[in-house]
Amino acid sequence: VTAPCSHWAGVRLAHCAQLRGDCGADCAKFQKSELEYKFNKKALERPYTSKHSWGKTYGEHKRHLEFSHDQYRELKKYAEEVGIFFTASGMDEMAVEFLHELDVPFFKVGSGDTNNFPYLEKTAKKGRPMVISSGMQSMNTMHQVYQIVKPINPNFCFLQCTSAYPLQPEDVNLRVISAYQSAFPDIPIGYSGHETGIAISVAAVALGAKVVERHVTLDKTWKGSDHQASLEPKELAELVKAIRTVEKAMGSPIKQLLPCEMACNEKLGKSVVAKVTIPEGTVLTLDMLTVKVGEPKGFAPETIFDLVGQKAKTTIEEDETITEQAVKKVKC
């Protein structure tokens, strides 16, 4: 789970507590930038007149929102107290250095740095697990990312992601999860969602996503472009509950009669039944047989063709279940 830009550190602390205690999430992920390393001077000096702006320039806006190193240390300490993992997307190489010093359990690579190959190499060499989003990238680029990271640090995963806020269903492309699973079978594949609601994220888990990242806010009406694409705590709790249910429901790939099905099978499972009276010694033909719910149980319906050519050991009355004691195989 990642939290969008909020108004003050106290809100972020509340995020950590709610994410774990009320919602059941495993990790609170933030975003850390060292602004002069992420943006050049002209980008920071660019006028920013959006309704979401916290300053006259983009640099003023970002400086207003960016937490200090001490605030990140406070957040990490509090996350440990409430029992949730804590990390952040390192939005530039210097931010990665700070997060490495902070001893986060894994690095998140935001989509904007996925094709930043020098950044990827340096981050991979830190030796921590990596979660790499793939918004704005092509399959060819993701193959390049794999080839760069894998020899350095094999402990990483890819997230299917579309970088739009909020994301429309027709742009989600969940089938990319399956394409990644085929292309990169030796790494986990996950999903980073910016859509509204929880249905699409649940579907991603059903497709095999092993990691799910969603933005979280305490109030979608707050100022900031990410809030509308975020989940409020109640929605996050619903998502986590739904994901846990789907994880259980994925079950086994082996198809067989399960113990929980026995009662239904006993009550409604069908058997082969005599369609007509079959005298003792008669060789069975298909037109003598039918399938019904029978008492007692007899031959299962899928064996009906195997019964053809067998001989009745006793007279079998019309509508009577055909049991193993009633027939014998005819030797060829």
Mean pLDDT across the chain: 93
**d(Cα 101, Cα 32) in Å, to the nearest integer?**
13
Would you state the pLDDT for residue 162? Answer: 98
Predicted confidence band of residue 4 (pLDDT cuts 50, 70, 90): very low
Examine the pLDDT at 58 and tell me if it is beyond 60: yes
Would you state the pLDDT for residue 225? Answer: 81
**d(Cα 191, Cα 262) in Å, to the nearest integer?**
37
Predicted confidence band of residue 20 (pLDDT cuts 50, 70, 90): low
pLDDT in tens, 248-268: 999 999 999 999 999 999 999
Looking at the structure, do residues 189 and 311 belong to the same domain, yes or no? no
Query: What is the extent of the structural domain holding 143?
Result: 9-250
Give the pTM.
0.87
> Residue 309 falls within a domain, yes or no?
yes
pLDDT in tens, 150-180: 999 999 999 999 999 999 999 999 999 999 9
Could you give the number of structural domains in the chain? 2
What is the average per-residue pLDDT within 26-33?
95
Residue that terminates a domain, selected from 197, 223, 250:
250
Segment among 91-100, 121-130, 222-231, 299-308 with least mean pLDDT: 222-231
What is the average per-residue pLDDT within 131-146?
98
**d(Cα 332, Cα 330) in Å, to the nearest integer?**
6
What is the average per-residue pLDDT within 262-291?
97
Query: What's the CATH code of the domain at 270?
Result: 3.90.1210.10
Examine the pLDDT at 40 and tell me if it is beyond 80: yes
Looking at the structure, do residues 214 and 238 belong to the same domain, yes or no? yes
Would you state the pLDDT for residue 10? Answer: 39
**d(Cα 275, Cα 290) in Å, to the nearest integer?**
6
Residue that terminates a domain, selected from 250, 284, 300:
250
Looking at the structure, do residues 302 and 182 belong to the same domain, yes or no? no
> Residue 297 falls within a domain, yes or no?
yes
pLDDT in tens, 189-205: 999 999 999 999 999 99
> Residue 280 falls within a domain, yes or no?
yes
> Residue 3 falls within a domain, yes or no?
no
Residue that terminates a domain, selected from 223, 250, 277:
250
Query: What's the CATH code of the domain at 32?
Result: 3.20.20.70
pLDDT above 90 covers what percent of the chain? 89
Looking at the structure, do residues 85 and 226 belong to the same domain, yes or no? yes
Token pair for residue 204?
């991603």
Would you state the pLDDT for residue 332? Answer: 57
Looking at the structure, do residues 17 and 146 belong to the same domain, yes or no? yes
What is the average per-residue pLDDT within 23-49?
95
